[in-house]
Chain A
């Protein structure tokens, strides 16, 4: 019967079957699959449910190489309030998705305007600064000129939005 059945199979179906069989038996795929299933770190991560910490760490690492000044209550006078010229302050949090969307934009601004100082505040770590500047959401961007807030933006923005904010300062 099987011969008869296969006799009636059209060429494209045979091709597809062959491709499918090949795919299923591809040794590298099998190996990769086995490796994946047994990867200790994956098992461990799920077992310990530390994804949140992972996310936080990843987020902090995303920011590690940025040329921004990390603000604290100790350095805010020197870096922002007594600083002449334009300073951008980015208030963010590890758990804030829109903050991450904003990150590459901030990065490109710091490359484009190398002379402009960009500072950042992790709102969970710097609660005194959050109080001081009355921040009530993240992301919040504040633009300072000669130590005074001249523009504030709330939520995620496009690069052209931020460039617009920087105009005529």
Chain B
């Protein structure tokens, strides 16, 4: 029986593990993929207090080693189900079953997909969810970016500095992203705004060669030839596994306030997967601390 079972070894889960073991609790962290979560993809972090510069990989590795050195146990198994019976929790993975006094769900979020045919098979063949990661492969080429938030605008600006042409495709005619970046984009000669439009089809067999875009108001479809499509339409959590037990909000995030307590006593939530406004490294770490201390208090 573990005091705490943490699902997810990203910044929130590993921060929770650190606080858990330092509170004298036995802690098991379960991770389906590799440790680190989304931050692994960030080449350079410059907004984490007291760390001027660090790569996402180094940050994640430091955090992982810190949690292990302090005594947390980490197993790379995929969680299939959680159960709560009379103050005891069970976590069923693809290869084992674990009993815990508390559970902390820190399952994070991942990039939202368009949900188009063959989108999955074209990832890495011209379809990408990270312009700062893959943009360099499209130097001097024509690309499109889909989205209207700050990430989409920032990535469009980055792409416009290296690509021959950038089509910015957005389903509305106004943007949620920062006005300053938008202004900078409007001044770029090689950026073309395709507004009130959504992507309907991906063209190309082995790699992407173009997209079919439909104007939502007029219904008119046009084909735009491109060699790269960057999708920046936000993120989605993956909490389907828990919805029999845990209350989720409309977006699929786990409902909880800043106290990180879910509707089930003894089950807590931390990080991007929680209903919240700001999803940052700092808030993930903060949630980890809050959830682990709340779990410690619950155990008594």
Contact = CB atoms under 8 A, between A and B. Distances in A.
B171 interface: no
A69 interface: no
Interface of A: 46, 49, 51-52, 55, 95-98, 100-101, 123-124, 130, 134-138, 140, 152, 154-156, 158
B253 interface: no
B154 interface: no
Given A49-B53, A136-B134, A97 B42 contact: yes
14 contacts: A49-B53, A51-B52, A97-B36, A97-B43, A98-B40, A123-B137, A130-B137, A134-B207, A135-B137, A136-B126, A138-B133, A140-B124, A155-B124, A158-B33
Which of B61, B125, B128 lies at the interface centre, i.e. has the most chain A CB atoms within 10 A of its CB? B125
Interface residues on B, range: 20 to 34
B56 interface: yes
Contacts of A46: 52
B53 A52 contact: yes
Contacts, number: 70
Contacts of A51: 52-54
Contact of B125 (A55, A100, A136): A136
B58 interface: yes
Contact of A101 (B34, B44, B125, B228): B34
B22 to A, nearest CB: 15
A97 B128 CA distance: 16
B1 interface: no
A101 B57 contact: yes
A137 B134 CA distance: 5
A134 B41 CA distance: 21
Interface in B95-142: 123-126, 128, 133-134, 136-138
B60 interface: yes
